[in-house]
Amino acid sequence: MIDPNTIDFAKGAGLVPVVVQDAATLQVLTLAYMDRAALDETIASGEATFFSRSRGGRWRKGETSGDRLHVVSITADCDADAIVLGVRPVGNACHLNRTSCFAEADAPGLGRIARLERTIAERAAADPSESWTARLIAQGPKRIAQKVGEEGVETALAGVAGPDEELASEAADLIYHLLVLLHARNMVFQDVLDVLASRAEAAKDSG
């Protein structure tokens, strides 16, 4: 978290803009404003609290809708007059019952990976007789790893001789089964990204 004393509220007449972003999918959910008291309350409660310019006062997201924003991180910009709020949303961020105020798409782009991870985690608790994901997880990492291998071969074959649509489809199957395997091993895709990031740093250091 950040020190509220470092934020320049004076520049915006007591308010700073707050970009609210899903910490997992990186999707921008909404734009809001905070005064010093709202920031203090957000830090103390762990839930996003804003200053409503239309209401003329503070409000905590979800007070009436139940759609809450649990705070994961708070980051100020280089001028300390704007904030990015990383959150774990429960429900929708938009009052129109959409995931985001900026688009109807749910977790577009690479954010789809994190959304799929959430779905896999939810399906893992389902009845194996009704969910392929739950049934696969119940069979254990060895079986899931076998499926990853099978899908990897099919993806490679499609890459050599199949049309673009087949390659995309097989690659999607491979990614799904890889995420299931990571879940079964109590890992997430971020663990993979962390390795890639460390390798990039090592390559940069080595020139």
C-alpha to C-alpha distance for 24 and 47, rounded to whole angstroms: 16
Interval 180-196 mean pLDDT: 95
Average pLDDT, the chain: 91
Q: Strands 49-52, 83-90: parallel, antiparallel or unpaired by DSSP? A: unpaired
148: which 2 tokens?
């990853």
Closest CA to 88 of 115, 65, 124, 109: 115
pLDDT more than 70, % of the chain = 99
Interatomic CA distance for residues 41 and 38, integer angstroms: 5
What's the predicted TM-score (pTM) here?
A: 0.73
What pLDDT is stored for residue 108 in this prediction?
77
Beta bridge pairs of residue 47: 70
The confidence score (pLDDT) of residue 55 equals 79
Name residue 170's amino acid.
E
What pLDDT, on the 0 to 100 scale, is given for residue 148?
97
pLDDT the model gives residue 206: 74
Q: For the chain, count helices (H), then strands (E).
A: 6, 6
Distance (Å, rounded) from C-alpha 20 to C-alpha 84? 6
The pLDDT value recorded for residue 1 is 72
Residues 85-134: tens digit of each pLDDT? 999 988 888 888 888 998 777 777 888 898 899 999 999 999 998 999 99
